[in-house]
Amino acid sequence: MNYKVASVKNIATLLFLFSYQSEAFDLGKIAKIKAGAESFSKVGFNNKPINTNKGLYPTETFMTIMAYMQVDFTELLPKSATANGHHLDGSLGGWGGAVIYDSTKDFINEVTGKTYGAMAWNYVGYWGGLVGQKPWASCGLATGNLTQGQYDKMTQAEMTQLSNQESLEASTCAKSYADHTRNYVIYNAYLRYNYKDIFEIRGGRYESPADYMSGYNQGLDMTLNLGNFKFWWFSSFGRGFAYNEWLYNFYSPKTYTLKNGQTINPGVHAFYIIWNYKGFSIQPFVYFSPFNEYDPNFTITYDSNPTFTGLGFRSQTDVTVLNPFYAKRFWDTYQFGMPAGKNAHSLMIKQKFEWNEYNFGFGIYKSFGNANWMIGYHGNRLGFDFWTNTVYANTLNSLSYMMDANAFTVFAFGGGVHRKFLWGLLGRLTYGPRANEQVLSLNLGYKFTKNFSADIKFEYYNVLMHQGYKMGWNGPKLDSQPATDQDRSHIFTEIVWKL
């Protein structure tokens, strides 16, 4: 099975060819240049040493500096075509940056007496090849990689010893990634054709519109509008990030290894059928990655005021159910510290109210089985950031434990926008088999000019790891592991300047 996507070079070439063939070519009329610089910082309050045997880890502090340039081609077809409803546009943009401060470089592992190694590459620069084919990407960053059958043959003492050993190996693996970062990405390189708001197709690299594949997409999507119905197809053969906190060159989040040892990129695909009528929307949809997962899902929403522009009252209700089914080879493996199983479910119910410039709401998120390790954590309809844990959690970035199997989360939020000033509050309580979490955050933002803005977030975040579960270990329960209470509180800052 061989899937191909047009290369960035070909897309760029097409953009300029179309430009030159346009009637009365004038770059100023068909192209707009965007550029800017941004900076992000996270300041963690827990600076205690690492102890991989005990599952104790600090909260990182780091700071980034980023810059980008983008050229948008607003119309590439002649007037004779646009007069009949045909339109073609495109974009080409690049993003680059660096981590200018990283506290993780200096954290000592009490087990070895040596530094654990820099971990900011988890935010900026992660690169192991499109399908993880680079030599350093074969070390296996995550711990707990055996099957249930293999663990059943081990004693508790043997599993504890294995968890200690793999935690040290994860440190070595992390250092390999830190030595091979790629701090740039061509994030935009696409062409988009549409006809009279009836049909649209886009291909290349662009910011993903998919709920469950956030970031930038390397692939295509197509839309067909027929009356109250909308049909949408999405295919992704690569995912990248071009943001002030996250910078990843494109990689495939889902791969498959053939019998001959070759790793292929089967892609992630989605198909939606959306029916809209007087504020109601019913959306049956499916996500799937051949050889990996098949997810029949649905969303039902109601919007009391779809044309809301900041004045008056609006109520929005969102109910979403995900039903992932996993390939057989995963059934008895451990994912996010719990058995994957054959299939699982998740339920999100979210209610939001808006009154003039204010908003508030609440919701729940419940997993039945291990529902998020394939589809839920690559993107979600929750509307808030759940990647604010320590970078050492799960040895997988900073994912919250609210994505764990059978976890239950209740949350509430509120905020407002007052001309140039905005604010927001979020409270979250998570109860899970591995950990409970308590989060309360305050976000403040101000737009100083049309080109310059800044915001800051203060977040209290506490993680109570239950007895038997060790941070950094994704295998079975360890009877000798005591409960731990670890502070994940932090401050986020963001500065944005646009040309």
The residue among 373, 380, 376, 375 whose CA lies nearest residue 396 is 373
CA 224, 229, 232: angle at the middle one, nearest 5? 40
CB of 70 closer than 8 Å to CB of 91:
yes
User: Is 217 a residue whose pLDDT tops 50?
Assistant: yes
* Per-residue pLDDT, 29: 72
Whole-structure pTM value: 0.92
User: Is 3 a residue whose pLDDT tops 50?
Assistant: no
The mean pLDDT value for 165-179 works out to: 90
* Per-residue pLDDT, 164: 94
> Judging by DSSP bridges, how do beta strands 421-431 and 338-339 pair with one another?
unpaired
Q: What are the φ and ψ backbone dihedral angles of 286, each rounded to 5 degrees?
A: -135, 140
* Per-residue pLDDT, 223: 99
The residue among 413, 456, 404, 454 whose CA lies nearest residue 431 is 404
* Per-residue pLDDT, 385: 96
Tokens for 339?
């058995």
Neighbours of 50 (CB within 10 A): 24
* Per-residue pLDDT, 380: 94
Quick one: how far is CA 14 from the chain centroid?
30
| Residue 162 within any structural domain of the chain | yes
Those residues with Cβ within 8 angstroms of residue 51's Cβ, 6 or more apart along the chain or in another chain: 109, 110, 111
| Residue 350 within any structural domain of the chain | yes
| Residue 1 within any structural domain of the chain | no
* Per-residue pLDDT, 28: 63
DSSP 427: E
Percent residues over pLDDT 70 in the chain: 93
| Residue 382 within any structural domain of the chain | yes
- pLDDT confidence bin for 455, thresholds 50/70/90: very high
Write the CATH number for 173.
2.40.160.10
* Per-residue pLDDT, 330: 95
- pLDDT confidence bin for 23, thresholds 50/70/90: very low
Those residues with Cβ within 8 angstroms of residue 42's Cβ, 6 or more apart along the chain or in another chain: 60, 61, 62, 63, 245, 490, 491, 492
Those residues with Cβ within 8 angstroms of residue 215's Cβ, 6 or more apart along the chain or in another chain: 207, 208, 239, 240, 241, 246, 248, 379
Sign of CA dihedral 170, 400, 380, 121: negative
The mean pLDDT value for 46-72 works out to: 97
Task: Give the C-alpha separation, 100 to 116, whole Å.
Answer: 19
* Per-residue pLDDT, 2: 43
Sign of CA dihedral 368, 374, 380, 385: positive
CB-neighbour burial class of residue 106 (10 A; exposed 0-12, middle 13-18, buried 19+): exposed
* Per-residue pLDDT, 27: 62
Tokens for 114?
């040596």
Helix (H) or strand (E) holding 27: helix 27-30
| Residue 492 within any structural domain of the chain | yes
Those residues with Cβ within 8 angstroms of residue 307's Cβ, 6 or more apart along the chain or in another chain: none
HSE (side-chain half, CA atoms, 13 Å) at 17? 7
Q: Which of 22-31, 49-58, 406-415 has the lowest mean pLDDT?
A: 22-31
Q: Spell out a b/e string for 253-271, using b for 16 or more CB atoms within 10 Å of the CB, else e.
A: bbbbeeeeeeebbbbbbbe
Residue 356's domain spans which residues?
Answer: 8-498
What SS3 state is found at 161?
Answer: helix
User: Is 95 a residue whose pLDDT tops 80?
Assistant: yes
Percent residues over pLDDT 90 in the chain: 88
Task: Give the C-alpha separation, 42 to 245, whole Å.
Answer: 9
The mean pLDDT value for 350-356 works out to: 98
The residue among 40, 28, 69 whose CA lies nearest residue 499 is 69
Those residues with Cβ within 8 angstroms of residue 21's Cβ, 6 or more apart along the chain or in another chain: none
DSSP 466: P
CB of 85 closer than 8 Å to CB of 76:
no
Kindly tell me the number of DSSP H helices and DSSP E strands found in the chain.
5, 27
* Per-residue pLDDT, 26: 56
Number of structural domains the chain divides into: 1
* Per-residue pLDDT, 24: 43
* Per-residue pLDDT, 1: 42
Average pLDDT, the chain: 93
The mean pLDDT value for 209-238 works out to: 98
The residue among 322, 318, 305, 312 whose CA lies nearest residue 351 is 318
- pLDDT confidence bin for 165, thresholds 50/70/90: very high
User: Is 257 a residue whose pLDDT tops 90?
Assistant: yes
| Residue 137 within any structural domain of the chain | yes
pLDDT tens for each residue of 388-445: 999 998 766 899 999 999 999 999 999 999 999 999 999 999 999 999 999 999 999 9
User: Is 5 a residue whose pLDDT tops 70?
Assistant: no
Task: Give the C-alpha separation, 483 to 224, whole Å.
Answer: 53
Helix (H) or strand (E) holding 243: none
Q: Spell out a b/e string for 178-188, using b for 16 or more CB atoms within 10 Å of the CB, else e.
A: bebbbbbbbbb
Task: Give the C-alpha separation, 234 to 273, whole Å.
Answer: 12
Tokens for 180?
């091979």
Distances (CA, A) of 109 to 61, 163, 390: 17, 15, 15
| Residue 2 within any structural domain of the chain | no
Distances (CA, A) of 209 to 136, 189, 218, 234: 32, 15, 12, 9
| Residue 3 within any structural domain of the chain | no
The residue among 377, 395, 374 whose CA lies nearest residue 387 is 377
